Structures are given as structure tokens and as C-alpha cells.
Chain A
Amino acid sequence: MKVLLGHGSGGRLSAQLTRDIFLPAFANPALDRLDDQAILQVNGTRLAFTTDTFVVKPLFFRGGDIGSLAVHGTVNDLAMGGADPLFLSAAFILEEGLDMETLQRAARSMASAAKSAGVQIVTGDTKVVEKGSGDGLFINTTGIGVVRDGLELSANRARPGDAVILSGSIGDHGIAILSEREGLQFECPIESDSAPLHGLVRTMLDTSLEIRCLRDPTRGGLSSTLNELASQSRVGIVINEERIPVREEVRGACELLGLDPLYVANEGKLVAIAAPGCADQIVEAMRRDPLGSQARIIGHVTESNPGMVVMRTVFGTSRIVDMLAGDQLPRIC
């Protein structure tokens, strides 16, 4: 049995890999919660600790590049744990023959993103692999931050009745990347939505601490995130199709390629599960932040159909939003 591209797509195959190989190997309570970050008690302080590796192709795209993605991605995983991101490490795997100029650009971009996000890159590592063994450049960032007091965020805390909040339009990043890939060739003004979300999260937490979980829907899209939450909390989630914002360009690209925006990657959006009583205030507060201007409640948590995500279509009928096995493939029928 070999590793397939699908194992990295964030869908079912990825989950299988974690379940079959990594969980049994590393088993411990922090890991078993399968959040995007580990929350650890160290000498009376709660720390959030997370890591992510960035393998995006192409390396530079509209709205970002592998460098800014590497900073934002890890900052966001910390923010989703309710932490103030403080420090990042950066490890580079370079393919022999990579243009020095490319590396320079990526590094400068990382520096700029880190500065805007208010984090420092304090340590790192570099390795070079032989030509043909990589896609030019891979970056791993690991981050650490301090978790706010009084906050308990976890994917297993959603309860029936809770509101599901989405911060903005879906599919921007995935389509921006696709439009720059060979083979598909469409012109698209969409930029990746890659952005650091800790400011937005801070605003939300200042409004209310009755937020059960925060997740940023990256690869695998909104669908994967909601399915994970439903599964880990053992609840059902119902969302309303009409409530989900999709930009016109993203729609056009998805229609052309036969893709469903629910499965397309994002890099600057978040999902929050919050107690019903405070959801409206949270959304109002989010809308005052430029990264949350399109925030809205898109659905709620239910007791029925635990582990499943159901969508109420614009027709009022219901369909399941299932987890994909691997990557979503453009179709021609």
C-alpha cells in the first residue's frame, strides 16, 4: 500500500492516515483531541502549540505565496486555539537547483507577514534535497502562543442548539491557486484570501467567551471542517445553502470545472460554534473587522444525525454534505 496524493487532501484518506498510523504511534490526551493545535499546561500557563507544512504549487500566486501562507497558516492554527500567537519557527526543505531569488522572495514575504501579524520568527532549520525530490521549496512553521484565561475551545464542545458562524466567502484560495495551474488555464481576478485571523478572533473573544470551537477551513474546505466538528462533538450540523457567501468569480470557476465550493480550500476564513444567545453579538463584532465583514450565522448544531452535516438547499430540500475521500476532481459531466 502506498501513500497517495489523496492522503494529503484533508479529507477521509488524510483522516485514515492519522487514525491508522499517527494516533496509535503517538497516543496522548492532547493529541487525541485532534484539534488544529495542542493546548498544554506548563507551569500554570496554558500554551497553544501547533505545526504546519506548506507545499503549495505554484509558489507565488495572486494574494500570497508559500511564505505568507506559512506564517498565516500557523498564526491561524494558534488563534483557533484561542491563543495570542507569539513565536514561530521556520524550517525549509529546498530542492537542489532552486533559484536563490525565489528563496529570497519567500523569505521577505514571510518577514512581512510576520511583522504584520505581530509575531517573530525566532528559530529555524534548512535542508537541501537532491534535484527531483521536491517541488522546489517546502516550508514548515511551528508556532507557540498563550491561551486566554477562561477559554475552553475544542472541536468536541459543540452542543445541540449552538450557532454555526462563518466569517466570509468560501473557495477564494483554492480557486486562486487552480487558476494559476497549468492544464486548467482560466483567467480569474480572484486573490487568495490568505490572512492572519488572530485579530478577528481577539475581537470575537472580547465579545463573548461562550464560543465552543474555532476552526479555519483550509484544505478540504468548509465541508471537511464541519464534518470534523460534527464527528468530534458527536452532533449533527445543519447549514443553509442560502447563507453561504460565494464570490462570483469563485462560482464561475466552480461551475466551469464542476467543483463544489464547499470542498475548496480557504486560507483566511474561520468557522465558530457559539452558544445561541451570544451568536448575533459575535457576528456584529466580527463585521466591524475587515476580515469579518461578511460574517454571518450559516446554520446550527443538532442532536439528530450525529456526525453528519446536512445542508438545507435553496429549494428547502436536504442533502448530506459528505467528507470527500481525496481531493475534489474537476469533472466533465
Chain B
Amino acid sequence: MKYLDEYRDADLARTLAAAIRERVTKPWVLMEICGGQTHTLMRYGLDEMLPSEVEMVHGPGCPVCVTPLEVLDKAIAIASLPDVTFVSYGDMLRVPGSRLDLFRVKAAGGDIRMAYTPMEAVRIAREHPLRKVVFFGVGFETTAPANAMAVWQAHREGLRNFSMLASHVLVPPAIRLLLGSRENRVQGFIAPGHVCTIMGYRQYEELSATYRVPIVVGGFEPVDLLQAISMLVAQLEEGRAEVENQYVRSVTREGNEPAQRVMNEIFEVADRAWRGVGTIPASGLRIRPEFAAYDAERVFDVEAITAEEPAECISAQVLQGLKKPVDCPAFGTLCTPENPLGAPMVSTEGACAAYYTYRRNLVCAP
């Protein structure tokens, strides 16, 4: 597959890994922000190829993982209503709320459907005017425009039975929080390539300058990540702190303007709670008041629902890159993909699930 296979070339990967090994003279702590990037790292064993001086910590770029427990509980409450058809992206279905997850609600009789695209929920609403169709709009900036389009389309067609439970988070505020923390060990960041495809990378220039930290916009294939890491290492070794773009085939400095316009039409910036982290000001999106009729939080009376995290789950620290999944006493024992204590273990992009699925207790390399 073009533009995919070339970036999975083993020779290129080895070349890049060798270049990194060659370049590095002291230890560096780097963070890849997006869960999809974490997955590639684990799935191709890229950390095995990197010199020991380079430590990768996994960032909070897992919108499923950071969806607050409350929002999950609201989703579950709405999905449990008899006249609701609840449509969601696949990965949200297994994420645990305070007591249940959407699969268990399905088992109890809820009409819950999986979709690849939010427009599928619009189609269902159009074809089933008597059902209340709710789409679970979770995601980062990458997905916000698509979710916005669904609301826009429903509005255009006057589909009064469609609404969205939106839980969007923005990346730069989370990075700012991380950088501002006294415990931060991260010296360089791989910015999420598809978020930046939409938003461009201007927002990262201010962060890079203020905190004197190199940021490289990276893609998702192994060669992309290794190249991004090599660019970060070069900057760190040379004492530079700039924003560079590795993912040139998809990302420009300005990003995708039509997509940003749709997003801003439907959504406005708001404070958001991040699961395991707490509220980060201006770090999320909510549906604008003009589109309140399509805001499931307002349509269904779920605003009062609140929730508490389980005590053993250290996802807060994992998501901030302060601990690795294997540092958690519950990892692989109390907390497994079948019985997850927190979202990073259930979500396929979560750091804990990635570790469990791909590495776990790999005792001896065969």
C-alpha cells in the first residue's frame, strides 16, 4: 500500500536506529504524544531498536483513556434508555465506567451500535425517525471536525432525533500542563501527526519557545517515528529547541483550514476534565449553545452525574508519563484487559493495553 509500506521498510528503520545510536551522547527522555504512536512503538518493538540512552515515555494522547469517568457514566445512562439508539466508535465500547461498560449495557438490552464514521449515526437517525439516535463523539482535534460535520448535517436536514454526546480534548493544553509540572522529565516531544494535519503546528511553536523544548511533528509508521526521534535527538544534542515537521507528506504549518472552520462552527473551547489528570482549563470542546438541540448532555438530563476513580489505578501517572504501566502494582494481576481498572488498559491505544498486548512479561527473547 503506497505511503504506508515504504514507511515500514526494515532497512530504513535500521538505518535510522543506527543513526540515533551514533548521534546520542547522553540520556534523553522523549515522549510520543499520541496513543496510535505508542501502539506502533510497541507493535514493531521500536524501543528494542533504540539505544538505551533514549527513553520513551508514553503521553496522554489516548482520547478514549482520558474520557472522564463521568462522561462514560453519562453515555451508559443514555444508552440504557429504551428509545435510544446509541452509536459509538468501536474502541469506546469496552471502556469501563463506574460500574458498567457499553457492552454490558448491550447485554442488558441496550440498542448499541458500532460505526466507523459519525455520518453513520446521521444515516440511522434519518432512517429511524422514531428512535433517539445519540452519537458518542470522543476524540482529539483529528476527529472533532468529522464529529462536527455530523451535527452540521443533522442540523441541515432538521433531524431532531439526532444528538451527540461530545467529549473532545485538545492536545496543546495537556502538553502545557505536563511541561509546567515540577515532576516533568520529558525533554522532547513527538507531536501527534494527525492532530497536526487538522490544526497545523503553530500552537506548538509557543510551547517550544516558552519551555525551551524541541517538538517534532511525527507520523505513525515505524520509519516516521524513528525519523522523528532522530530529529529530536539531533536537536537535543545540538542544544536547539524548535518545532520541526517530520510528517511533511500530511502536515503543514497552517493545517487544514476547511476542517478547522467546521470544527469552530459547531464547537467552542471549554474547560475539560481529563480522566486521571483532573480539569485542565480550555482543554476541550463543547457544542455551542446555538446547537444545543444536538447536545445530548442537554437533551438527556444527565448533567448531574459525577464519578470517582478506583483507588488502585495509577492511570493518572501513566498518562502524564510519570510511570510506566509495568510500574503499577495492579498491572497484569488485578488489572487486565478483561478486568480493567482504568481506561489505559482497555482502550486499544492505551499505554497499559499496549504493554500488556505486545510486551507483558516477555521473559527471554527467543
Q: Which residue of chain A is the closest to B62 with respect to CB atoms?
A: A333
Given A4-B107, A258-B348, A325-B338; A332-B45 close (CB under 8 Å): no
Which residue of the partner chain A has the closest CB to B337?
Answer: A325
- CB under 8 Å from chain A, chain B span 111-170: 113-116, 120, 139, 143
State which of A4, A258, A304, A316 has its C-beta within 8 Å of the C-beta of B10.
A316
7 closest Cβ pairs, A-B complex = A317-B45, A329-B90, A330-B90, A325-B338, A317-B48, A319-B358, A325-B337
CB distance from A226 to the nearest CB of B (A): 14
Interface of A is mostly: loop
- Report the interface size for chain A: residues with CB under 8 A from the other chain: 42
CB pair B10–A314 under 8 Å, yes or no, is: yes
Contact with A along B53-92 (1 / 0, CB 8 A): 0000000011110000000000000000000000001110
Q: Are A4 and B103 in contact (CB under 8 A)?
A: yes
Q: How many angstroms from the CA of A183 to the CA of B115 in the assembled complex?
A: 5
Interface residues of B, count at CB 8 A: 54
Q: Mark B354-366, 1 if CB is under 8 A from A, else 0.
A: 0011111011111
Residues B45 and A313 in contact, CB atoms below 8 Å apart: yes
Q: Do A183 and B116 touch (CB < 8 A)?
A: yes
14 A-B pairs whose Cβ atoms sit less than 8 Å apart in the complex: A4-B104, A183-B114, A184-B115, A185-B120, A308-B362, A317-B46, A317-B48, A317-B49, A320-B360, A329-B114, A331-B90, A332-B89, A333-B35, A333-B39
| CB <8 Å contact, A317 and B338 | no
A322-B356 contact in complex given A2-B107, A310-B362, A331-B91, C-beta closer than 8 Å = yes
Which of A5-13, A119-127, A278-286 interfaces with chain B? A5-13
B36 at the interface (CB under 8 A from A): yes
Indicate which residue in A3, A4, A255, A258 contacts B1 across the interface (CB closer than 8 Å).
A255
Contact status A2-B359, CB under 8 Å: no
List of A residues within 8 angstroms of B1 by Cβ: 248, 251-252, 255
Output the least CB separation between A245 and chain B (Å).
16
Contact count A vs B, C-beta below 8 Å? 127
Is A45 interfacial (CB-CB < 8 Å)?
A: no
Most buried by B among A257, A305, A313, A330: A313
> Which one of B49, B61, B91 lies within 8 Å of A315 (CB-CB)?
B49
In the bound assembly, the distance between CA atoms of A61 and B48 in angstroms comes to 43
Partner of B338 from A12, A248, A308, A315 at Cβ < 8 Å: A12
Which residues on the B side are within 8 Å of A183 (C-beta)? 113-116, 120
Within 8 A of B (CB), among A291-320: 302, 304-305, 308, 310, 313-320
Instruction: Look across to chain B and name the residue whose beta carbon is closest to the beta carbon of A7.
Output: B107
CB-CB < 8 A to B36: which residues of A?
A: 333
- Contact among B14, B44, B91, B362 with A332 in the assembled complex (CB-CB below 8 Å): B91
A residues sitting closer than 8 Å to B (CB atoms) are 2-6, 12-13, 16, 183-185, 236, 238, 248, 251-252, 255-258, 302, 304-305, 308, 310, 313-320, 322, 324-326, 329-333
Minimal Cβ-Cβ distance residue in B for A256? B116
Which A residues touch B196, using CB under 8 A? none
Once the chains are docked, how many angstroms separate the CA of A331 from the CA of B64?
A: 10
Q: Is the CB of B363 within 8 A of A329?
A: no
Which B residues touch A308, using CB under 8 A? 362
Q: Is B222 an interface residue (CB 8 A)?
A: yes
In the complex, chain B residues whose CB is within 8 Å of the CB of A185: 116, 120
B311 at the binding interface (Cβ < 8 Å): no
CA separation between A281 and B62, bound complex, in Å?
48
Q: Which residue of chain A has its CB nearest to the CB of B65?
A: A333
Known A-B contacts A236-B366, A251-B1; the reply to A332 vs B359 at CB < 8 A is no
Is B297 among interface residues, defined by CB-CB distance under 8 A?
Answer: no
How distant is B81 from chain A, measured CB to nearest CB, in Å?
Answer: 19
